Structure 1
Amino acid sequence: MTALTYIPFAKGHGTGNDFLILHDPQDHLELQPDYITQLCSRREGLGADGLLRLVRTTAHPDTRAMAGRAEWFMDYRNADGSTGSMCGNGARLAGRYLVDAGHHLPGHFSLATRAGLRDLHVPADPHEDVAVDMGRPNLPRPARVHVTVGERRWPALHVDVGNPHAVVFTNDLTQAGDLQQPPRITPAGAYPHGTTVEFVHNLGSHHLVVRVHERGVGETPSCGTGACAAVTAARHVGPQPAGQARYAVDFPGGRLHVDVDTDGAMTLNGPALLTARGILGLQASPHVLARAAPAATFD
């Protein structure tokens, strides 16, 4: 009989961008990419755009240096099993889970990610928006790239928001196709590990409409870092507004808001809703390396 490791899980979404959350405070689990893909499968698993494994910073070897400033580390994985450095909607949902499950007090606190510390504001009311400080995006070289879908080719802007993005402006978002396959990027070496691609219609008055192909996933209903990348690109190619500004960014899954400070730092705001909680039985196999067998608990 195959041994099982039981671990609490939750599921939730931010404007339709959905995630599985594994509560692994003592870093007992090392999930292999093919097993993550199975868990995120809409037919073979629980279904999600990505997976968030929450580990105490004191228990993870890569985050112990952050333990004095953040209690929890968000180990983010894309639906294809690849490792992600940052996820805006995922960070907001991780904060909501930590508060709702009683692992953190509501209010302001920091979350450790592979892109560094991210400051959250999580209200006690689960129906209120959750905010995450996204820092200052930058424009790495090459700043200009090109994106091709089918026979169409657009110039795009290379934006880094803790993870890479290519932002295209178009007045017809249907030209992007179904976005299940990654658009082709030139020059070929611009994104050695792949990129998320945003197609943006700028309506003016700080209002953007966006469709996105998310790296390692396909088209997703929303993307938090993508909202920040789209705002960064819009501010770069258009007139710079004076002082602070708030942008409404509409995705197929709903609206996010991006607040831009006077120094260019961005805060991502939007709903973060938990939809399910349960106990997941993980097979102790080469797909899941259990360093120990924790009891199933929501403590």
Structure 2
Amino acid sequence: MNALTDIPFAKGHGTGNDFLILDDPHGRLALDADDVARLCSRREGIGADGLLRLVRTTAHPEAFTMTDQAEWFMDYRNADGSEGAMCGNGARLVGRYLVAAGHHPPGPLSLATRAGLRDLTVPADPHADVAVAMGCPTLPGPARITVAVGERRWRALHVDVGNPHAVAVVKDLAHAGELREAPAVTPANAYPHGTTVEFVRNLGSGHLVLRVHERGVGETPSCGTGACAAVAAVRHRGPQPAEPSRYDVDFPGGRLRIDVDADGAMTLSGPAQITARGTLGLRDGHGSGIARAAAAG
């Protein structure tokens, strides 16, 4: 990372799933995995489940093909520094930030991601829910996925929501254990770059309860793409409603809502809050930084 100072940043969360946002419109920050991991560390950095670097599409090589459809590109990194294609809660928080920072007016907003364009709706009210159109999840297979924690094993479903998921429907969420380590998933070749794992209780009537172990992060209080993956898995296991339907998905960090249209496309809605803003002073060329002038949002 170049030795730059006074980089604007914000901290925020969606149902407890928290992120560090770096405002880098001209794409001048060259973040490597160590930089991101250090900034996301809760002991050595600011602390977050992931990092969201905002770059104008005209300034990022991965977004050149989307410049005529979106002004901003979301460069999403997991807490371990690895790149991610999509993050539902992160995208909603980006929408909130872009409006709060005056980069975009309230209302419809198109965001470029590594998984393609995502359309958001960001109300002017900072306390109102933010929604993002997530598209139709896919089930790429293989048919037999197994998730294991200790001696317990569950059949699972491979669901792709712009990023990979292994979804296991369970009778008791406590059976997932402490989730300090990533659950074992087989066959290994189904997820060559790892996967996020969801443990789902289906309470019926469109009500799900989840715990999630996110790839590159660990157990998190919430996961937007995980909520979509869980709904897709539950719908695949049982009769699908003929009409659009709504699901309430509860996590330890709060509730997200999934609306499914007649074609199976999903819209993810929920709270997104900016909790602090400030400038990031980078002290050396390796991205070691300190937060300065941070204030509640």
> Is this a same-fold pair by TM over 0.5?
yes
Q: How does 1:173-192 map to 2 (within 5 A)?
A: 173-192=173-192
Instruction: Name the residue aligned to 1:240.
Output: 240
- For the 8 Å contact 1:245–1:261, the answer to whether it is kept is yes
Instruction: Name the residue aligned to 2:225.
Output: 225
Distance 1:286 1:276 in 2: 24
Provide the secondary structure at the position in 2 that maps to 1:193: coil
- For the 8 Å contact 2:35–2:286, the answer to whether it is kept is no
Q: Does 1:200 align with 2:200?
A: yes
Normalising to structure 1: TM-score of the pair?
0.94
**Equivalences, count:** 287
Q: What do residues 181-204 of structure 1 show as CA deviations (whole Å, max 9, x unaligned)?
A: 110011121100000000000000
Distance 2:116 2:20 in 1: 21
- For the 8 Å contact 1:71–1:111, the answer to whether it is kept is yes
Q: Does 1:52 align with 2:52?
A: yes
1:3/1:237 CA distance change after superposition, 3 Å? closer
Q: What do residues 202-233 of structure 1 show as CA deviations (whole Å, max 9, x unaligned)?
A: 00000000000000000000000000000000
Instruction: Name the residue aligned to 2:215.
Output: 215
Distance 2:65 2:34 in 1: 30
Structure 1 residue runs of 5 or longer lacking an equivalent are 289-299
Q: Which runs of 4+ in 1 moved over 6 A?
A: none
Deviation at 1:143, TM superposition (A): 3.2
- For the 8 Å contact 1:138–1:160, the answer to whether it is kept is yes
Deviation at 1:283, TM superposition (A): 3.3
Normalising to structure 2: TM-score of the pair?
0.95
Instruction: Name the residue aligned to 1:37.
Output: 37
- For the 8 Å contact 2:3–2:287, the answer to whether it is kept is no
- For the 8 Å contact 1:36–1:51, the answer to whether it is kept is yes
Distance 2:123 2:31 in 1: 31
Distance 1:144 1:29 in 2: 42
Provide the secondary structure at the position in 2 that maps to 1:167: strand
Q: How does 1:1-299 map to 2 (within 5 A)?
A: 3-287=3-287
Q: How large is the RMSD of aligned CA atoms in angstroms?
A: 1.2
Distance 1:4 1:232 in 2: 43
- For the 8 Å contact 2:141–2:157, the answer to whether it is kept is no
Distance 1:249 1:77 in 2: 24
Query: What code does the residue aligned with 1:181 have?
Result: E
**Kindly, what percent of the aligned residue pairs are identical?**
74
Provide the secondary structure at the position in 2 that maps to 1:29: coil
Provide the secondary structure at the position in 2 that maps to 1:63: helix
1:171/1:218 CA distance change after superposition, 3 Å? same
Distance 1:50 1:187 in 2: 27
Query: What code does the residue aligned with 1:47 have?
Result: G
- For the 8 Å contact 1:106–1:122, the answer to whether it is kept is yes
Instruction: Name the residue aligned to 1:297.
Output: none
Structure 2 residue runs of 5 or longer lacking an equivalent are 289-297
Q: What do residues 137-185 of structure 1 show as CA deviations (whole Å, max 9, x unaligned)?
A: 0000213300010011110000000000000011100000111211001
- For the 8 Å contact 1:129–1:269, the answer to whether it is kept is yes
Distance 1:188 1:206 in 2: 32
Q: Which has the higher contact order (CA 8 A, sep 6+)?
A: 1
Deviation at 1:119, TM superposition (A): 0.2
Distance 2:11 2:243 in 1: 38
Distance 1:207 1:3 in 2: 48
- For the 8 Å contact 2:157–2:166, the answer to whether it is kept is yes
